[in-house]
Amino acid sequence: MIYSMTGFGRYEHEEDGRKVSVEIKSVNHRYLDLNIRMPRRFNRFEADLRKLLGSYMSRGKVDVSISFEDMSESAASLAYNQELAAAYLKYCRQMAEDLGLENDVRVSTLMRMPEVFTMETPETDEEALYNALAAAVEKAAEAFQLSRQKEGEALKEDLLAKLSGMAENVRMVEERYPAIIKEYEDRLRQKLADTLADTRIDESVLATELVVFSDRLCTDEETVRLANHIDTMAKELKKGGAVGRKLDFVAQEMNREANTILSKSNDLRTSEIGISLKTEIEKIREQIQNLE
């Protein structure tokens, strides 16, 4: 399978009054840049989560957002410290008596005193909590992976179509070359005939000129290498996997050969084909940037 580096996945896991929501989204990046935002109580699970998520992706800037709601009976509850409240009241009365002040302490005053009311969080079953978290992350990752796969396969089909068109253009450049040499020979013969009038054309001089001209315009090496690069890229796309980096390098080599073909061109049709090749290669390189 071919995977795009852009994708999105979301999942909510609810069990025993606890709900874990996970959202994963990604964009292109040279390497894997995994950023996880989650409640502090999950921090101890970060290493395990990174390992789990790493099995679903190898490149891309990935943002993972995790939220948690606990509405279970074992959730945090309010605790009232009666002894501490009584101590506060005792000392407030003593302070009023010692300083000759009015004792205006009310319940609303005492309840604001530190530690009179506290939130008590019961011990949590760590294994159960992680299992719920991992289940939500894994399902979100599967949805995320599916979206990347769909986009990646669409990119693959489009790239294969472009490569097929490029292969046809390379074939046209190869076929056009003999015709260019023949046209040049005809023009050269006509020019010599017009110049020399009744004098016989020296075939050896003509042959030497044609060899020099042919050598200057010959693109056999470039078309062979370019055709090989096109074949290599098509095979890698069909094989699948994380091929983005390799294909980017192949595209650079393809562009190099297309530049040389265009620079050697002495023919309008070949120049048009060379420009078309460069245009398609540039489109291919842009699309490859999206592949993992």
Is pLDDT larger for residue 261 or for residue 36? 36
What was the pLDDT predicted at 103?
Answer: 83
What was the pLDDT predicted at 198?
Answer: 54
SS3 at position 58: coil
Lowest mean pLDDT among 96-110, 202-216, 233-247: 202-216
Cα-Cα-Cα-Cα torsion 106, 108, 112, 118, nearest 10 degrees, comes to 110
Cα dihedral sign, 50-51-53-59: positive
pTM of the model: 0.70
- Taking only the tens place, the pLDDT of each residue in 259-273 is 998 887 777 888 899
- Taking only the tens place, the pLDDT of each residue in 6-16 is 999 999 988 87
The CATH architecture of the domain made up of 7-71+125-148 is: 2-Layer Sandwich (3.30)
- Taking only the tens place, the pLDDT of each residue in 210-230 is 565 555 667 788 889 999 999
Q: Where are the domains of the chain?
A: 7-71+125-148, 77-120, 150-288
φ/ψ of residue 24, rounded to 5 = -125, 130
pLDDT > 80? residue 76: no
SS3 at position 200: coil
What was the pLDDT predicted at 44?
Answer: 92
d(CA 139, CA 133): 10
Please, what is the average pLDDT of the chain? 86
Q: Per-residue confidence at 239, pLDDT binned at 50, 70, 90? A: very high
Q: Helical H runs in the chain?
A: 46-54, 82-99, 107-110, 126-196, 203-217, 220-239, 244-264, 268-288
d(CA 129, CA 132): 5
